[in-house]
Amino acid sequence: MAFSLEKSARAFAEAKEYIPGGVNSPVRSFRGVGGTPPFIAGAAGSRLYDIDGNEYIDYVGSWGPMILGHAHPAVTEALRDALMRGTSYGAPTLLETELAKMIRQAVPSMELVRMVNSGTEATMSALRLARAYTKRNKIVKFAGCYHGHHDSLLVKAGSGATTLGVPDSPGVPESIAGNTITVAYNDVEGLEQVFRQTGEDIAAVIIEPVPGNMGLILPREGYLAAVRRITQEYGALLIFDEVMSGFRVAYGGAQAYYKITPDLTTLGKVIGGGLPVGAYGGRRDIMELIAPAGPVYQAGTLSGNPLAMTAGLTTLKILAETPDMYQKLTEKTQTLCAGLKAQAEKFGFNLQFHQIGSMFCLFFSDKPVYDYDSAKQSDVGAFNTFFHAMLEQGVYLAPSQFEAAFMSAAHSDDDIAATIAASARAFAKVEE
């Protein structure tokens, strides 16, 4: 049967009548790659199923959370039990302490942990805290790093913003954006220069230690250590935004992988096991400024929600207890990348493949990609052709050149082989 998205196209048209752009988060609209986004009816393991009856091997994993695959039986079972005990209490539970404990065991720099409902909330709250602690106002971020959609950080923000061509959003007051200084990722000298000029005013540097929102970029050797040294020298806090990399590149996140200790860390995605969760945490003396322990206000009706805590806890327990979990995820991802690279080379494409743990990305560029500007040199048209050719063959990649892809524990060797086989036909299309 020929590939068709007829029902999705109708659903998309109807959704646009009721929802801005038909979606509840911009990149889902496929604006970057064109065409119709499949409307999803369900998911299991490595697979997504759409309302037209198409089945896809999914490398988006809900943009990172689904490291165990979709509808993992243990997570589903735990959620079913939790559901019967009520969905929200607005009062403390044992689950919250248990999850905070597991997070601190994995990420020891997070001495105290506060749960919120999204990555955006986590980074927004971490910035407020950093400003309160240092009594300074300026924030440094890196071009192409995305930390959520709150005003201070929606500046040169990568992925969705890049794809839609709105690096700065209307509605962000200049007075707020003016306190955000943007530096190129992987550029130590650029960061040093900013600190020489205005280091005494900088409250914090916030960084995706492994950026995954301008495609996947890897830190150069010694880069993260240099960022740590510079922030320490000037008394600015270092915030690792590990919303994507946490429990993903390693159980202890990028800070365990690269052995760098930040002052504050933000988490999301995997720690919610597919339910809405974020968290921020760090040094006890800083975190104790948060209300009600201290004066920095931050709250949430649904924060620490029992269903979300249950999904997160169950996910982390499986990750912690399955032997060689991260080793196997890494090996599968390496096998896939090697296979895709071999196919690309058969067609004479010299592409940039980046991979760390179970995150990967291929840039349609024949030059090294190490920051936002070099990422933007990629041939987006070629990516889009590749993307659609893969989709039509049942492989669901992120609908943008400027996104990372994710392997899950549920992907089988057959899934990987099928993906590589599909790529041969997709590269052939790009060549046409």
What is the binding site for ligand PLP (CB under 6 A)?
63, 118-120, 123, 146-148, 208, 212-213, 241, 243-244, 268, 278
* Known active-site residue 326: no
Question: Would you give the end-to-end CA distance of the chain in angstroms?
Answer: 24
Inter-residue contact 207 to 142 (CB < 8 Å): yes
Q: Give the H/E segment covering residue 242.
A: none
Annotated catalytic residue, options 52, 58, 241, 263: 241
In this complex, which beta carbon is closest to ligand PLP, that of residue 63 or of residue 406? Answer: 63
The closest alpha carbon to 66, from 335, 416, 328, 411, belongs to 411
* Known active-site residue 241: yes
Give the CA diameter of the chain: 64
3-state secondary structure 391-427: HHCCEECCCCCCCCEECCCCCCHHHHHHHHHHHHHHH
Annotated catalytic residue, options 146, 251, 258, 396: 146
Find the shortest distance in angstroms from Cβ 271 to ligand PLP: 11
Over its C-alpha atoms, the chain yields an Rg (Å, rounded) of 21
Find the shortest distance in angstroms from Cβ 353 to ligand PLP: 20
Find the shortest distance in angstroms from Cβ 279 to ligand PLP: 11
Find the shortest distance in angstroms from Cβ 63 to ligand PLP: 6
* Known active-site residue 269: yes
Q: 237-255 as b/e, with b when 16 or more CB fall inside 10 Å?
A: bbbbbbbbbbbbbbbbbbb
Query: If DSSP codes are grouped into helix, strand and coil, which group holds residue 50?
Result: strand
Find the shortest distance in angstroms from Cβ 10 to ligand PLP: 28
Unique residue bearing structure tokens 């974020």: 278
Residues belonging to the active site: 146, 241, 269
